[in-house]
Amino acid sequence: MDRDSLRQYLSFYQDLGVTTLYRRPQTDEQSQMPILPLPGLTPENDTLLKILEDIGDCKRCRLHAGRNKIVFGVGNEQAKLVFVGEGPGADEDIQGFPFVGRAGQLLTQMIENTASKEGIPLKRADVYICNVVKCRPPENRTPEPDEMETCGQFLYRQLSVIRPRAICALGATAAKAVLGRKEGVTRMRGNWFKWNDIPVMVTYHPSYLLRPYNQNAKREAWEDLKKALHFVYD
Ligand code: URA
């Protein structure tokens, strides 16, 4: 097991309240049977409700201090397509739902208009939408690596429970959290990557597309979305 996986295991068990771990020999002394490897990070029979319960009144990282509401996720729990954003903004923090502000309205339009133009009967409520971090970062700053790591375990559990046909990572933070890649979105967008065998499309974050000089990026984002929609719903 490499250092990153070990760190994930330890923080996962810490969140479950396990603070002491013992090293054991490779083989059980009495039975001489090999010790079984650690279980997967996703608990068995996991559900979105269990994840929400585990998050609880979360104080695992500094973001909890400034939040009004935890923004868990919204949409169809059996969605074939999941959109992952960065973190809640002011509107999301007040309402408790992801992508309800200006960027959210653009995302809704992108999903519904593109689908309709492509002859795919799809509404926003048919997909699932969530973020890398569930609490609003102060001044909407980019989440710090340790905040992403702490909250990332819940995102991975959400993705594992839903097991969509594809994931659409919106912007660099989502791409980094889901794929562990640090390249810019401009380089990654429009291409398929994988998270645990699930295809991942990277595209621009809707907030970036709201800036008036980004018309070209808007067209590209529409192309990326078209690709993802046809892949999932054809
Ligand atoms: N930006 C995000 O990344 N997520 C939201 O929920 C809203 C804006």
| Ligand 1 and 103: CB distance under 6 A | yes
C-alpha 59/C-alpha 153 separation (Å) is 14
206 lines ligand 1 (CB under 6 A): no
**pTM for this model (two decimals):** 0.85
Query: What CA–CA distances, in Å, run from 52 to 2, 134, 147?
Result: 29, 11, 17
- Chunked mean pLDDT (size 10), the chain, 234 residues: 78 73 63 56 90 97 98 98 98 98 98 98 98 98 97 97 98 97 95 97 98 93 98 98
Asked whether 86 lines ligand 1 (CB < 6 A), one says: yes
Pairing of strands 81-85, 74-75: unpaired
Q: Which residues have a Cβ under 8 Å from the Cβ of 215 and sit 6 or more positions away?
A: none
Q: Which residue has the tokens 């562990």?
A: 180
- Ligand 1: centre distance to CA 124 (Å): 15
Sheet holding 192-195, edge to edge: 74-75, 128-131, 81-85, 166-170, 198-203, 192-195
At 32 the pLDDT is 64
Q: Enter the tokens of residue 165.
A: 């046909």
